[in-house]
A and B are shown apart, each in its own frame.
Chain A
């Protein structure tokens, strides 16, 4: 398989045996946000609002009645337009955002690689952020010390590892984030658009590492707008549209249905980045 945009080889990891145990069970999940249009809620605004007597609250139904199971060792691709609820779904499964309705059961340790990348504080160095991220994710200090060299080596950003993260390029940040996430030995790996900023060499390395994890019966959820990545990497695919689960099935069929629905031709541009 050949990625037309980057020239990297993307191996198929779809053909493999899948366990019959459930790793993630999402049951009738609703997630509703109530957001105000105020970007930063302040006491000042609250007082001003008191004078006007109204509050502009917008309810966003990010996910509506979504149910599915994921079996251990499978790779679930998630496609959908911007704002379809893909990232919210990931955050709910990771336990960061609480469900409004419904129930989520997750078996094992999850590791998240969400769109914002690694990091706590950009004025801290890469090394400090790796350690902080690892400790927050539940690793012990000893485990981290053992893995630190592997993480740094895999990210391959050289001396930048000891420079503040504010000096990183976006690609370097993404590489470090990916490296941390895959070295946490997760049972479940949640990846949100993680590979879009890496270069061709890193993409290939990342794909290989993901394959290793899946071979060790980790479960993976993958969000990508690069539809070819979804087809190549996932064993199964779901399509979200405005928070609703539209379709679930074979990745190729789901991607076909999705592209048809949004009326775009399956050109190489849309397949690589949509």
Chain B
């Protein structure tokens, strides 16, 4: 009986916290608009390729580098190989978004576990673990990523998993801070007194409570990885043909900004809107979840 109440208290507290946050988020116009737009873009990228009359690598031999025109069915024009740009932008969105999600997810898992463990155990272990994070912060991150690309460039998801494995530092710091603060709260102490095992306390009590800042962090990491992907594409280390990504499309388009502006504008528009929306959403979530503004 006692255990049950102890466990359910934070859950219901979490519930009401979430509901409260959701209510506040709904009042933020920029954030809700962003959320809708993001949903639309995601939907377009997922379903779009089936709706356009062209396949990803299909060449229209009558339309090389043609501007957008509804008459020939290329609503966003074609690229230098006569492939439908809109189809490619949708496909590229799939890649860009999924690599961002993969990297963010990996960084999330590592960061949350690492931070939670460090914060929860505390003492010397915490000290050592955080010292390691400090060391990692001093790595020339970008150089390592480029080296990773050079070595493992063929497998794009693996690469972004690896990027996620280097990106978790901020996350671990945030979670550790949260855990340290939460640890001193009554319900954790109660659970400890009741003999609930440590790992259970971490997974069932601490993590759910640290979720707010984590969500905010996610909305900020996803755009970071999307930009990183485009940066690597610029260096020629992007995904392999016939696959594409927004980064690849934009770096192809940038060389043609005068002669075939649609090749730059269309993918850039998708990228920019996505990044802006993620930023607005992140801001909105922060406001909604931050207890100080309550």
The judgment on whether A and B are partners is no
Tell me the B residues contacting A by CB distance below 8 Å.
none
